[in-house]
Amino acid sequence: MLNVVRGTDLALAKGLCPVGDSNKSKWDALVDGLATDLETFYEDPNVPGSYIPNDTLTESIGVGVLAEVKSANTAVDSYAVSAVGPGSGYVTLIESSGTAFTQVGDPIAMHIFKVGGSDLYAGEVKVIAAANPLSEQVTFQHTADLAGRFDEFEYEWKIAAPVDGLPPVSDDTMSAYLSLATGADMPRRTLNEKMAKYAIDRRTYTPDSDIG
């Protein structure tokens, strides 16, 4: 997962401390101040074979900024490959090409990614169970991370009653589905019990019956 928090995710994190709390401003400042140091290593001239951070290349990456790894000798926990925007083409990734974190004799591998075109990654919708086992709410999360830029994409959440236990057949306009919400920066949706009744009878639905 990306270490990026912005938009509605950032607002939710700040919302963990209620507005009336005396420490609200401190909490918001703490959340805004979250950052990580991106360190690039080089071989220690005094101890050959060991590597130390190059302080002149260290970058402080803020909570809402996507960390870009520009060197094979930059320390990382893992990689998250993301692409956004209208461009298309190919990206080449060289694995084990560095020296600081690559063992001698490790094979070098090359990976080529196709970006853009007609085969766009659609992602999935995951169910997030509530912490309370008696909760009447259920949350759905779209899995594509979109480089943390959810506010640059339009979401359209819809619901429909099952047909013989299966989702209804979709057409170009998804006429069998009822629209819940449309807008940017909406990677998740939380529904309550009232929306479940819609699956039985559409007449019970009103636009404000879902909660998030």
Distance CA 171, CA 175 (A): 7
pTM (two decimals) = 0.67
Model confidence at 197, pLDDT cuts 50, 70, 90, reads low
Residues 38-69: tens digit of each pLDDT? 999 999 999 998 999 999 999 999 998 888 88
CB 34 within 8 A of CB 5: yes
Please determine, for residue 126, whether its predicted confidence score (pLDDT) is greater than 60. yes
- What number of helices (H) and strands (E) belong to the chain? 3, 11
Please determine, for residue 203, whether its predicted confidence score (pLDDT) is greater than 50. no
Chain centroid offset of residue 212 CA: 18
pLDDT at 138: 85
Beta-strand relationship, 125-128 and 109-115:
unpaired
Of 6-10, 114-118, 127-131, 136-140, the least confident: 114-118
Most confident of 152-156, 159-163, 206-210: 152-156
> In this predicted model, which residue has the larger pLDDT, 64 or 27?
27
